[in-house]
Structure 1
Amino acid sequence: MRYLITGTAGFIGFHLAHSLLQEGHHVLGVDNFSPYYDVELKEDRNALLERFEHFKVSRLPLEDSRALNSVWDAFQPEVVIHLAAQAGVRYSIDHPEAYISSNIVGSFNVLEAARRFKPHHLMAASTSSAYGANTHMPFEENDRAVHPITLYAATKSATELMGHSYAHLFGVPTTFFRFFTVYGPWGRPDMALFKFAKAILADEPIDVYGDGEMSRDFTYVDDLVEAIVRLAQVAPNEANRVEGDSLSPVAPFRLVNIGGGKPSPLMDYIGELERALGLSAKKNYLPMQDGDVPHTTASAELLERLIDYKPHTPISLGVPAFVGWYRQRYRV
């Protein structure tokens, strides 16, 4: 099949594209190689993808609708997976304009291209942050989620609503998935595991927010990719409606959590990192940060009913896998 993936130089997009290429699919990556974090890391991910005969990358910002339409028209993708976004909860507090430009305008251009070229399935990434101030656990797709506590979350919720309206008006089967704290090799340097590993190896203290009382539904990246690949084959329609579905009553649109439903305490996560590194962390305990939530837990029931699969890799395996990659890449 022919997949167009936005954000292939990014953490998740790279892993997804690599998996699909290994299966023999054709992949067109669209990425602007944003300097939000180390561009060399993005270039190295892209270099690995370019080893595959059936991979091509277009270096362009999604805000450039004319360029996006041109490469989309030439490639004629059957499935489009929109992962590119300005990420980071706390970064959005000080740099809101980046989120409006990338997450709102960029996503609008993807929707407009889908309206024009009609892929078999449009898929797009959202986030567990969309649940905002919701305290009902586990987070369920049909929960009312109207209280985002960061602009990042608000932009992601907005793109979900935009996606639903386009699915209703123009009939493009559309799936949005909400990610839950994805981690693993080739991860982003601004994420906790990466920052913790770097600090511990340098014998520097790590900042532990929420006084270490937080928990997260950590999702290993290979599990996430497997779920996306399987969901790509389940374009939303009445024929595949399941119990407890989030399938819209007026559009071929579905919202799906991708998380295992087994949260781990933050201190356990840090403990696994200490074991994998063979070092103890110096911990600087701090209050919760603005825009953060104390706990996340995904309901994985809908995901499992749709694809007979849910993320399952424990942090006792996932964290050492990250450490192995980190040590090899940075020779530490």
Structure 2
Amino acid sequence: MKGYVFHGPGQASWEEVPDPGVKEPTDAIVRVDAVTVCGTDLHILKGDVPEVRPGTVLGHEAVGEIVEVGSDVRTVRPGDRVLVSCISACGRCRYCRESMYSQCRGGGGWILGHLIDGTQAEYVRVPYADLSVHPLPGALAGQDAVLLADIFPTAYEVGVLNGRVRPGDTVVVVGAGPIGLAAIATARLFAPERIVAIDLAASRLEAAKGLGADAVADAGEAPEQLIADLTDGLGADVVIEAVGVPETFDMCTRMVRPGGHVANVGVHGKPVTLHLEDLWIKNVTITTGLVDTRSTPTLLRMASAGRLPTSQLVTHTFSLDQMEEAYEVFGNAAETGALKVVLGEPRHDVVATRTT
């Protein structure tokens, strides 16, 4: 089979790799029908995630069909159409028992495309299949469902739930990329008074409006003053950091009100200065986190009922063998306007966009 293999910072290619097989009785082998590229994959290619060894197949999100299962797998069987979660869970360790699957100590957590071969391939081995794949409702298109493998649960859990968004809040989302947009869409479920999106790209700010942002601001044009004006000088109740650079994190801490929440979702590749000399007196809560995917079953039900705007985030589609092209388009989003790229099964209501 073929897969997208990491060979070191700035180096990866779509090439022949060995077919995966069942290694443990809890494994499942999934034929991949749809995958996407994540911002974390770009961080890996930049060298920001040194744990990823050269020779690793990248990717941690997929929709596909079960083709083989180990003897201990009970919840799925060959022929089932499933969502492959970005997080694997042993189900037995302390953290899994507390639904904190990202911190699994039994060999799970974020391992696909990180510590073991991932989903950007024709087939993938998924450990701990009973808790790490989710049967899909028949009516849910693969290109919609694949966004529930990572970005929607990440935005919802690490951004909206950690930030404790409540009715009547002012919510600011810094970074209107895929995670930020999913945070806007899921924050709306809690009826905040207003949602403000901040980004440098006009196209992403337009997308934010389409997904429910009440106001938008260019990150280079004094967004902090806008937030002060909207809140009578108090600041935002919840600020969600969805970029992952020192400047945006610092901006978030300046925009939050005393007693408010800063929910960091962005993946940081550089040290960030925490100005405790200013924040210690303000009763500010700062949270971090890797998604646990405990919300995935709920989000799947909502998507199946048409309650999540997943299709609005897919701007480009490709076949699996166009993986290198898809990375180029996604990695140059400022020029291409890409939000999410999906590779695999076609869907008639999304027009495939290709670079020349």
Task: Compute the TM-score of the two structures, normalised by the length of structure 1.
Answer: 0.36
Kindly indicate which of the two structures has a greater share of residues assigned to strand: 2
Kindly indicate which of the two structures has a greater share of residues assigned to helix: 1
